[in-house]
Amino acid sequence: MKISDEKVVSLIYKLLVDGEVADQTDRDNPLEFIFGLGYLIPKFEENISGLEPGDKFEFTLAPKDGYGEYVEDAVIDLPKKVFEVDGKVQENLLVPGRIIRMMNQEGGVVPGKVVSIDEESVKMDFNAPMAGKTLNFSGEIVSVRDATDAELTNGLHGERTCSQGECGHCSCDCH
């Protein structure tokens, strides 16, 4: 069976970024998703469309086709009072490198990385971790099958919460 919309695809892959392994799966823990529903980067899906179990793949995605270009304006200084709970700044959260889920002006949750802290403010980077990076994928299709009606309604794991997000698989941070 070939990969097409509403098929459950199981695959193994390796992602190289700057010559280093950034992510990978194996046969014991393959990536499984419903094709064509926006679970993965669109250009990733485009590159595996039509493949069958046993087919190998290898392709490179430029930043614009992956997680986008790095945007300097997405690095901002926030007043420390933004991190107050019950009138007290949560200093234990403010650690350089830590990812903090924050709410944007539209009420959506966005992850931001703490870059630095000073007396009055916290510098946060709201770029995707792979923004500005060239992504080099290789792997193999393990299986392809029709999605059930329940999977199309509820997702593979019983709840439909996923959509393309920071990790590329989804926005639920479940991977």
User: Residue 21 pLDDT more than 90?
Assistant: yes
Query: What confidence category does residue 158 fall into, taking pLDDT thresholds of 50, 70 and 90?
Result: low
Residue of 139, 120, 118 whose CA lies nearest to 21: 139
Mean pLDDT of the chain: 90
What is the rounded average pLDDT of the residues 71-79?
Answer: 96
User: Residue 112 pLDDT more than 80?
Assistant: yes
Q: Are 23 and 159 in contact (CB under 8 A)?
A: no
CA gap 56, 10 in Å, rounded: 13
Q: What percent of the chain stands above pLDDT 70?
A: 90
Residue of 150, 145, 99 whose CA lies nearest to 125: 99
The confidence score (pLDDT) of residue 124 equals: 97
The confidence score (pLDDT) of residue 145 equals: 98
Query: What confidence category does residue 90 fall into, taking pLDDT thresholds of 50, 70 and 90?
Result: confident
CA gap 27, 142 in Å, rounded: 8
Q: What domains sit in the chain, N to C, each tagged with a CATH number? A: 7-67+132-154 (3.10.50.40), 72-125 (2.40.10.330)
User: Residue 136 pLDDT more than 70?
Assistant: yes
Q: What percent of the chain stands above pLDDT 90?
A: 78
Give the global pTM: 0.76
The confidence score (pLDDT) of residue 142 equals: 98
- Per-residue tokens: 65: 């086709």
Query: What confidence category does residue 174 fall into, taking pLDDT thresholds of 50, 70 and 90?
Result: very low
| Terminal-residue alpha carbon distance, the chain | 26
Check the CA dihedral 8-10-11-12 and report its sign. Answer: positive
